[in-house]
Chains A and B, each alone.
Chain A
């Protein structure tokens, strides 16, 4: 079965600083990968998804970007953080190209000060 790793687990960054969150997946190949943000412990919002290396689709225009340099690596970045970027960031993967289940990683808690 697949395992999703995210790091760091928590992060406190000042406004205007850069951001890099990493997600890696074990136990599967060619997964669909997703970045979600959860504000205030409720409501998950899809930010980006990727169906393959170098293929990124953005769902919400914002201050963030994503990259997929390897099959099982997904990175969320920002050049300059805003206060509104604070939240709980979750990476998820889905196996195969059909209606497979989607599994979430442990998340990264980001606080922008």
Chain B
């Protein structure tokens, strides 16, 4: 019940295209869903996060869509750029858990110029 399943494992997109990464969770107590971007050899950087009281959150080219009934959430990267090439992780936590994050396995995104 603590798992977060992320797909696809890898994704190749052309410059200007839309990148979509999906995550699914089982634990309905999760109430905070962040996405992280990680470049090789670096620590993950918080990209965008959502709570279950909203169905969508947009920050620049990045959008989270959240479907509470389906227990799924996704990251959309619009107008994907080569500089977006990185590994993306979804995660989830619940308010009673001291902020402990459960991570998905990551998606390696490659944006071709």
Cβ of A42 and Cβ of B105 under 8 Å apart? Answer: yes
Q: Which residues from chain B contact A59 at a C-beta distance below 8 Å?
A: 100
Cβ of B99 and Cβ of A99 under 8 Å apart? Answer: yes
Partner of B42, one of A34, A45, A101, A107: A107
Asked whether A102 and B34 contact (CB < 8 A) given A51-B98, A107-B43, the answer is yes
Cβ of A44 and Cβ of B34 under 8 Å apart? Answer: no
Q: Which residues from chain B contact A106 at a C-beta distance below 8 Å?
A: 42-43
A101 to B47, CA, bound (A): 10
Say whether chain B's binding surface is mostly helix, strand, loop, or mixed.
loop
Interface positions of B (Cβ within 8 A of A): 31-32, 34, 36, 40-46, 49, 51, 87, 89, 93, 95, 98-103, 105-106
Cβ of B43 and Cβ of A101 under 8 Å apart? Answer: no
A34 to B97, CA, bound (A): 12
Cβ of B43 and Cβ of A90 under 8 Å apart? Answer: yes
Cβ of A42 and Cβ of B42 under 8 Å apart? Answer: no
Cβ of B106 and Cβ of A102 under 8 Å apart? Answer: no
Cβ of B100 and Cβ of A49 under 8 Å apart? Answer: yes
Asked whether A32 and B43 contact (CB < 8 A) given A41-B87, A44-B89, the answer is no
Asked whether A49 and B98 contact (CB < 8 A) given A43-B106, A104-B43, A107-B43, the answer is yes
Asked whether A101 and B46 contact (CB < 8 A) given A41-B87, A43-B105, A43-B106, the answer is yes
Extra pairs beyond A99-B31, A102-B34 (13, CB < 8 Å)? A4-B43, A34-B100, A42-B87, A46-B100, A49-B99, A49-B100, A98-B95, A99-B99, A100-B99, A101-B34, A102-B99, A104-B43, A104-B44
A49 to B100, CA, bound (A): 8
